[in-house]
Amino acid sequence: MKTKLSIFLFGVFFSANLLAEFQGPGAVSKLTTVKAASAMSDDDKVTLEGFIVKQIKEEHYLFTDSTGEIEIEIESKYFRGLVVTPQAKIRIIGEVEKELFSSATIEVDSVQIIK
């Protein structure tokens, strides 16, 4: 009986550690979609995977995934020398920007090419 209880408790403890994560200020969000990000609140952290399909204006681009498209803002320093084409799948990390009477945009803090 003690052996079964010990195994059970070990399993509960071990599996809880696998699911542990930090949630709070500065935490990196889990992967989301453009559709979901469009409905999020201002300053919510997001991680998206998809494609930059065109440049709208300086530092502003149209980003798309299978659920839709959204304007993103990337300062040139965040490209870190990467060459991104419309065919290159990328992961961006940033936060939602929502202003009154405007569509949501994403302010990008990190760009990675997915290979």
The tokens describing 4, both together, are 């079964």
Domain count, the chain: 1
State pTM to two decimals.
0.75
Say if 30 falls within a structural domain.
Answer: yes
Say if 10 falls within a structural domain.
Answer: no
* CATH number, domain with residue 69: 2.40.50.200
Say if 19 falls within a structural domain.
Answer: no
- What span, in angstroms and rounded, lies between the C-alpha atoms of 19 and 98? 31
**Region 56-77 average pLDDT:** 97
Query: If we measure between CA atoms, which residue out of 57, 85, 83, 87 comes closest to residue 71?
Result: 57
Whether 51 and 83 have beta carbons less than 8 Å apart is answered as no
Question: What is residue 20's predicted lDDT score, i.e. its pLDDT?
Answer: 52
Question: What is residue 86's predicted lDDT score, i.e. its pLDDT?
Answer: 97
What domain range is 68 assigned to? 24-113
Question: What is residue 22's predicted lDDT score, i.e. its pLDDT?
Answer: 58
Question: What is residue 101's predicted lDDT score, i.e. its pLDDT?
Answer: 87
Residue 51: partners with Cβ closer than 8 Å, 6 or more residues away: 63, 64, 65, 86, 87, 88, 89, 90
Residue 1: pLDDT band with limits 50, 70, 90: low
Query: If we measure between CA atoms, which residue out of 67, 1, 61, 10 comes closest to residue 34?
Result: 67
Q: Does residue 40 surpass a pLDDT of 70?
A: yes
Q: What is the percent of the chain where pLDDT is above 90? A: 70
Question: What is residue 49's predicted lDDT score, i.e. its pLDDT?
Answer: 97
Return the higher-pLDDT residue of 8 and 69: 69
Whether 34 and 69 have beta carbons less than 8 Å apart is answered as yes
Question: What is residue 18's predicted lDDT score, i.e. its pLDDT?
Answer: 46
Say if 13 falls within a structural domain.
Answer: no
- What span, in angstroms and rounded, lies between the C-alpha atoms of 5 and 50? 47
Q: Is 68 helix (H, G, I), strand (E, B) or coil?
A: strand
Say if 5 falls within a structural domain.
Answer: no
